[in-house]
Structure 1
Amino acid sequence: MGKIACANVLSDMYAMGIADCDNMLMIIGIPFKMTDLERDVVLTQMMKGFRDEAKSGGTKITGGDTNFSEWCLVGGTATAVVKSEEVVLPYNAEVGDVLVLTKPLGTQNATFAYQWYQEGGEKWEKLSSVITSEEVQFAYFMAVQSMTRLNRTGARLMRHHKAHAATDITGFGLLGHANNLAKHQKKPVSFVINKLPIMCGMAAVERAINNRFMLLSGKGIETSGGLLIAMPAEESSQFCRSMKEIDGEEAWVIGHVVEGNRTASLDKDVEIIDVR
């Protein structure tokens, strides 16, 4: 949980092409109902995960705040001081750009499917007709790996490959964040998404639960998702190759920028990519 929270905190900064963080503050919420032993074990591990991920990002925790809470919480803030020319401003997308996504979709489906598999019962019985227990476990660990992987490589590479705009994909889903990014463009452009890279088996899970999480409509909630980047088409292939070489993970060209009215939409024949 701490690793995921830290990766998520850093993502907003990475979406501006800022790959190096000067320092971070950590915020912890301690549940009232936890016993002393539970607090010692759980919070220690949460804080360790947060610190470990900050170290992976080349920064450190310099302070923070701890309070009692109804929930178990971990979060924080990241600070960096950079030159203005080192920032990728999020409003310069141009007609002819392509849209690149650096992590697969489906974290919400994968975590819930794993929970239902563990619990058994009616929900798992419904899913077991479209996915095996081994496939659910594989997708879950793929989701954990994705959520804890920093967007730092993408931040560095998008500056090198002349990115015109970017955002990170989290609580509003791919289409929600794409719409928000499109709305703030200087030029009258729109984003058209024609591919959805989805963690293996999670498209089938989504259909089995009657599109409950809106994953196939591009609105599925993501936790610590990837970067959505508008960049020149001629730069995208090398960007994706470099992501694979450095992080060992795929990135995908999932759409393009066209003349429009500053909105984002899914192509009517959107392609589902099963990511393994």
Structure 2
Amino acid sequence: MAIKLTEYSHGAGCGCKISPAILDKILSQTNQGPVYEQLLVGNDQRDDAAVFDLGDGTSIISTTDFFMPIVDDPLTFGKIAATNAISDVYAMGGTPLMAIAILGWPIKQLQAEVAGTVVEGGRQACEAAGIPLAGGHSIDSPEPIFGLAVTGRVQNKYLKKNGGAHAGDLLFLTKPLGVGILSTAQKKKKLRTEDAHLAVQQMTKLNRIGQEIGQLDYVHAMTDVTGFGLLGHLTEMCNSSNTKARIRLDDVPFIGDGVLDHYLAEGCIPGGTIRNLDSYGQGIKAADDRALHLLADPQTSGGLLCAVATDHADEFIALCQTHDIHCRPFGAMVSAGDHLIEVI
């Protein structure tokens, strides 16, 4: 009998993330503590990873990410979880060095061999990134959990943050959206056979291009799009950059050709989408619920969101094409507006 991992968890992938509003409450209870001058990026900046200056012109990047199954197949789950965790290093413009595993497993419900297959999937993703899976920690937990803690390195001059975008910068996304909708369709047993590969194809693709983007002066800000959806991570970019944004829904990349509308009509709206909109929806202007449900859809192992100087757009597009990424600008940062993000 085939194992269906998603039946053993209440959430899926980055849709398991605590909502931005609740996260704010949690972090508000944490004392600020002493200032560490070598800590270039810390918890106060809401970025993708912590960055610590080594004093030699380079910095260590440290990050962790883990979640419950978003697919049924154990090997694929391991690959997706590891790919997602490694992405945070790429989103800072860095190069991953090594990873250690985080495993929670319901040992009375699922065989240890299944957990071993999940870890092997993580190891294969690490191998694809050119890094070792060097160790880890495991616990007996009520639901299956897997992820990585990843260490990377970056030259300080190439460090990218989610802040620093300029008014006028064009916005690009290196992977299409829709993973949360398709994953919800799977949990509801409404996912069509012909669509089963679409989300997995995106979630197992490394954001390796981030290492090269980090070296581009004309990319002013970068982050990866995960559980808070495009609107949530763009909100963070706007707040960190002291800008606003205007995006064109028709130019945003989505998985499939009309596929997502089919599943929205079937009621496949992730709970994470609603939590996201409850947290930051007041800053968004959009024509209808369809736009909001598409753009607040929680992504797992999503693409890189980049703010690119207008006069280098063609150069950026050409670089993406060398990585088999076909993208176009879907909006721009602006200096003024009645809402933080306007969807047109």
| TM-score, length basis structure 1 | 0.81
Partner of 2:112: 39
CA distance in 2, matches of 1:191, 1:84: 27
Offset of residue 206 of structure 1:
1.4
Shift of the 255–155 alpha-carbon distance from structure 1 to 2, 3 Å rule, reads farther
Shift of the 59–67 alpha-carbon distance from structure 1 to 2, 3 Å rule, reads same
Q: Deviations over 1:22-45 (max 9, x none)?
A: 11111111113325xx221x1121
Offset of residue 261 of structure 1:
7.5
Matched, 1:28 2:84: no
Secondary structure at the aligned position of 2:334 is classed as strand
Identity among equivalent positions (%) equals: 28
CA distance in 1, matches of 2:215, 2:330: 19
Offset of residue 161 of structure 1:
6.0
Shift of the 211–83 alpha-carbon distance from structure 1 to 2, 3 Å rule, reads closer
CA distance in 2, matches of 1:91, 1:57: 26
Partner of 1:273: none
Letter in 2 for 1:25: I
On the 8 A contact 1:27/1:65 being kept in 2, the answer is yes
Partner of 1:190: 244
- 4+ runs deviating over 6 angstroms: none
The correspondence of residues 155-234 of structure 1 with structure 2, limited to 5 A, is 155-160=211-216, 162-185=218-241, 188-195=242-249, 196-200=252-256, 201-209=259-267, 213=273, 216-217=291-292, 218-234=295-311
Q: Deviations over 1:125-154 (max 9, x none)?
A: xxxxxxxx7xx3343312101001011114
Letter in 2 for 1:66: S
Shift of the 66–233 alpha-carbon distance from structure 1 to 2, 3 Å rule, reads same
Offset of residue 114 of structure 1:
3.7
Secondary structure at the aligned position of 1:105 is classed as coil
The correspondence of residues 1-276 of structure 1 with structure 2, limited to 5 A, is 1-18=77-94, 20-35=95-110, 38-40=111-113, 42-116=114-188, 119=189, 124=190, 136-160=192-216, 162-185=218-241, 188-195=242-249, 196-200=252-256, 201-209=259-267, 213=273, 216-217=291-292, 218-246=295-323, 248-260=324-336, 264-267=340-343, 269=344
Unaligned runs of 5+ in 2: 1-76, 275-289
Unaligned runs of 5+ in 1: 125-132, 270-276
Secondary structure at the aligned position of 1:64 is classed as strand
Offset of residue 210 of structure 1:
8.1
On the 8 A contact 2:164/2:240 being kept in 1, the answer is no
| TM-score, length basis structure 2 | 0.66
On the 8 A contact 1:114/1:137 being kept in 2, the answer is no
Letter in 2 for 1:239: F
Superposed CA RMSD: 2.3
Q: Deviations over 1:96-140 (max 9, x none)?
A: 110100111101111232444xx4xxxx4xxxxxxxx7xx33433
CA distance in 1, matches of 2:158, 2:82: 23
CA distance in 1, matches of 2:312, 2:211: 14
Offset of residue 219 of structure 1:
0.8
Offset of residue 229 of structure 1:
0.6
CA distance in 2, matches of 1:211, 1:55: 34
Offset of residue 66 of structure 1:
1.2
User: Per chain length, whose mean CA-contact separation is higher, i.e. which structure has more relative contact order (CA < 8 Å, sep 6+)?
Assistant: 1
Secondary structure at the aligned position of 1:253 is classed as coil
Shift of the 239–73 alpha-carbon distance from structure 1 to 2, 3 Å rule, reads same
Shift of the 263–147 alpha-carbon distance from structure 1 to 2, 3 Å rule, reads farther
CA distance in 1, matches of 2:88, 2:182: 23
